[in-house]
C-alpha cells in the first residue's frame, strides 16, 4: 500500500457499510462496494447520505458498486458490514478479493465474526471494528445517519497494532472519529454489556429501551443481564467494572424511545442477529465455565422468534 | 334454594361471563350481571350472542345488569368471570352479594383465584370452574362464541361435590356441556399444561400457536415448559401423564393460527394475566420444592412486558 491509494472493498453495504465506506470514498479513497438488494438503484443513482455530521452524496463516478464479488478487484482492505446472519456467505464473497497482504476489518455486531474470518483466511490479517452509531437505510440509496459514529478498531491477534493504526488513520482523515483498542476482545465484551440486554430483550419481547426501563422490574432485569455479561466477560479474561452498569442505564434512560437493531429486524421480518449477539457470548462463557442463565433463556426465546418463518412479513 | 329459582350474580361480565350467564338467563334463570365498560350499552340494548351452538339474544327484560354491586340482590350463586388482573376488586364487588349460603364459582384463568375467594369469604363456599372455550367480545353488547364451550367444575374443599353437581346440572339444563371434577386442583394444573407455554410465550413474545410450533426449536421449548408444569404439578400432589404433552401439541398443531388470551390482551394494551397463569404456578411449585426454571424466566419477562405502561395503547 506504501504511497499508493489502497483498494478498499466494502462487503454487504447496508447503512453501516454505505456510511463508513462512503466517508472513505468522499475523502478520495478507492472504494468498491458489494451490494445485493439496492445494487441497481445505487449503480444508477449513487447514494444520498443524510448525516448528523453533514449530508453528502456519492454519485456513481465517485465509487464502484458490484453485484458479484468475482467482478471486484483484489483489495488491500476488506471492510465487512454484512449482517452476521449471512455469515455463511463470507467465504464466497471475500475469496475473490484476497491477495497476499489483504487485511480484513469486520464491523459486524456481536461475537464470533473475527473467528469466522480467521478460520477462512488466517488470523493475522483479521481486525475488528466496533461502530457506535445510530443509522438506518430509509429507502434504496438513502441512508439516514442519526447520531454518533465513533469507531474503535483492534487486531484479532494482538501484534503491535500497526494495521489498526493504519485503518484508524484512514477513518480519521475521512471525518470518522476512530481510535485503536488495546484489546479487541475487551471492546467486544464491553459493547455486549449494552447490546445483550437491550437488543436481546428488545428483539425477543418487541420492547424499546424506554419500555424496558420504565418499571423497576425491567431495570432489575436489565441489570441482572448486565451482571451476567460482566461475569461471562471475566470468564473469558476480560475485566469490566461493575460501574458500567449504572453508566449504561443512565445513558440509555436519556436516549428516549430507542429500538435496537434486533427489534427493528424483527419488525421488518428480517432475521435477527441472535447467534452473534446472544448465542456466541453464551457459548464462549460456557466454555470458560461461566453460566449465563438468564441470557441463555433469552437466547432460546429469541431463537424461537427468529425461526417463526411461517408468518413471514407479518 | 330448594325449589326456588336461585339468584345468580355474574361478576365481571366480559365475553365469558356474558356467555355462560347468558345461557343460564336464556333458560329461565334469574341472572344479575355486574358490568363496567359496556354497562350503558347492555342496559339499553341487551346482548347479542353469536354462538357456534346457536345464536341468541338477551334483551334487557330477560336479565338484570348493574354498574355497582351495592344495587344487586344477595345471591345464591356468584359466578366470577372478572379478569384475574383485577382480583384486588373482588372483595368490594362480592361482599354486597353474600348471604349465609351464597356459593362462589370462579371461572377465572390460572391458579390462586379460589384461594383469594376462600380468604375473603371462607373456603367452604368456593368452587372453581374451567371453561374450555374460544370466545371474544366483538363490540359493546356483541359476543362471538367461536368454538367449544365445555365447563368442568369442582369444589375448593373436597367435600362430596353436592354443590358442584348442582351448578353442573344448572349448566347442563342451559345448553352448556358441564361435568364435575373429582379434583379441582388436578383440573387446574392439567389446563396449565397448555396455558403456561402457549399463553406465556404467546404473550411475552407476541407469537401465535402456529408460529411457536413451526420450528423444531419452538416445539422443544413448548415441550420443555410442559415438562416443567408436569413436574410442578407433581410437587403439588397432582399426577399428570407425560402423554398429555404429545396430545396437547398434536391438538394445537391442528388449530391453525390461534392467539392466546395473553397475546390478545397484549395486542390490545390490556394487562395480561401474568400472576394467575405464570406467577402463582411458579410460587406454588417452589413452595413444594420444585423449580420451574424456564417458566420462572418467562414469568419474569412477561412481567416486564406487562409493566411497560409508558407506551400504553401502542
**SS3 label, residue B4:** coil
pLDDT digits (tens, 9 = 90+) for A203-212: 999 999 999 9
Instruction: Tell me what pLDDT residue B314 has.
Output: 40
pLDDT digits (tens, 9 = 90+) for B227-264: 999 999 999 999 999 999 999 999 999 888 999 999 99
ipTM score above 0.90 = no
Contact between A73 and A101 under an 8 Å Cβ cutoff? The reply is no
CA B277, B283, B289, B295 dihedral sign is positive
Does residue A292 belong to the interface with chain B, where contact is any CB pair within 8 Å?
no
C-beta atoms surrounding B190 within 10 Å: 22
Residues 218-237 of B with CB under 8 A from A: 218, 221
Cα distance between residue A17 and residue A93, in whole Å: 15
Q: Which chain B residues touch A308 with a CB distance below 8 Å?
A: 207, 211-212, 214-215, 218
C-beta atoms surrounding B85 within 10 Å: 18
B206/A308 Cβ within 8 A: no
E strands of B156-286, at which residues?
A: 178-180
Does residue B217 belong to the interface with chain A, where contact is any CB pair within 8 Å?
yes
Contact between B43 and B12 under an 8 Å Cβ cutoff? The reply is no
- Closest by CA to B13, choosing from B121, B97, B93, is B93
Instruction: Tell me what pLDDT residue A256 has.
Output: 85
A210/B304 Cβ within 8 A: no
Cα distance between residue B176 and residue B20, in whole Å: 8
A218/B308 Cβ within 8 A: yes
Does residue A120 belong to the interface with chain B, where contact is any CB pair within 8 Å?
no
Does residue A311 belong to the interface with chain B, where contact is any CB pair within 8 Å?
yes
Q: Which chain B residues touch A304 with a CB distance below 8 Å?
A: 201, 205, 207, 212, 215, 217-218, 221
- Closest by CA to A41, choosing from A60, A69, A19, A63, is A60
Pairing of strands B7-11, A178-180: unpaired
pLDDT digits (tens, 9 = 90+) for B100-142: 999 999 999 999 999 999 999 999 999 999 999 989 899 999 9
B210/A205 Cβ within 8 A: no
Total count of residues recorded for chain B: 314
Cα distance between residue A240 and residue A231, in whole Å: 9
Contact between B34 and B13 under an 8 Å Cβ cutoff? The reply is yes
Enzyme catalytic residues of A: 191
pLDDT digits (tens, 9 = 90+) for A44-83: 999 999 999 999 999 999 999 999 999 999 999 999 999 9
Does residue A250 belong to the interface with chain B, where contact is any CB pair within 8 Å?
no
E strands of chain B, at which residues?
A: 7-11, 30-34, 47-51, 56-58, 64-66, 77-80, 103-106, 126-139, 142-155, 178-180
**SS3 label, residue B137:** strand
pLDDT digits (tens, 9 = 90+) for A289-307: 999 999 999 999 999 999 9
Model-level pTM? 0.89
Contact between B304 and B310 under an 8 Å Cβ cutoff? The reply is no
In eight-state DSSP terms, residue B237 is T
Does residue B162 belong to the interface with chain A, where contact is any CB pair within 8 Å?
no
Contact between B178 and B171 under an 8 Å Cβ cutoff? The reply is yes
Using the predicted structure, report yes or no on whether residue A310 has a pLDDT greater than 90: no
Amino acid at each position: 500500500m506504501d504511497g499508493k491509494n489502497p483498494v478498499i472493498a466494502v462487503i454487504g453495504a447496508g447503512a453501516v457499510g454505505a456510511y463508513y465506506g462512503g466517508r472513505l470514498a468522499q475523502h478520495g479513497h478507492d472504494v468498491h462496494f458489494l451490494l445485493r438488494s439496492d445494487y441497481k438503484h445505487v449503480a444508477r443513482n449513487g447514494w444520498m447520505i443524510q448525516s448528523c455530521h453533514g449530508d453528502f452524496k456519492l454519485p456513481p463516478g465517485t465509487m464502484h458498486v458490484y453485484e458479484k464479488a468475482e467482478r471486484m478487484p483484489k483489495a488491500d482492505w476488506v471492510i465487512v458490514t454484512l449482517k452476521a446472519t449471512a455469515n455463511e456467505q463470507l467465504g464466497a464473497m471475500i475469496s475473490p478479493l484476497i491477495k497476499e497482504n489483504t487485511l480484513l476489518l469486520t464491523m459486524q455486531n456481536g461475537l464470533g465474526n473475527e473467528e469466522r474470518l480467521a478460520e477462512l483466511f488466517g488470523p493475522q490479517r483479521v481486525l475488528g471494528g466496533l461502530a457506535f452509531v445510530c443509522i438506518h437505510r430509509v429507502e434504496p440509496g438513502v441512508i439516514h445517519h442519526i447520531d454518533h459514529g465513533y469507531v474503535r478498531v483492534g487486531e484479532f491477534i494482538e501484534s503491535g497494532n500497526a494495521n489498526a493504526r493504519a485503518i484508524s488513520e484512514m477513518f480519521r482523515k475521512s471525518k470518522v472519529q476512530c481510535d485503536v483498542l488495546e484489546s479487541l476482545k475487551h471492546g467486544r465484551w464491553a459493547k455486549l454489556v449494552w447490546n445483550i440486554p437491550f437488543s436481546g430483550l428488545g428483539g425477543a419481547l418487541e420492547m424499546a429501551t424506554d419500555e424496558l426501563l420504565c418499571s423497576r422490574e425491567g431495570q432489575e432485569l436489565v441489570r441482572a443481564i448486565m451482571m451476567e455479561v460482566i461475569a461471562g466477560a471475566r470468564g473469558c479474561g476480560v475485566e469490566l467494572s461493575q460501574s458500567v452498569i449504572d453508566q449504561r442505564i443512565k445513558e440509555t434512560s436519556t436516549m428516549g424511545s430507542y429500538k435496537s437493531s434486533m427489534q427493528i429486524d424483527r419488525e421488518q421480518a428480517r432475521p435477527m442477529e441472535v447467534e452473534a449477539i446472544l448465542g456466541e457470548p453464551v457459548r464462549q462463557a460456557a466454555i470458560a465455565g461461566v453460566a449465563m442463565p438468564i441470557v441463555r433463556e433469552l437466547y432460546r426465546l429469541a431463537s424461537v422468534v427468529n425461526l417463526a418463518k411461517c408468518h413471514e412479513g407479518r
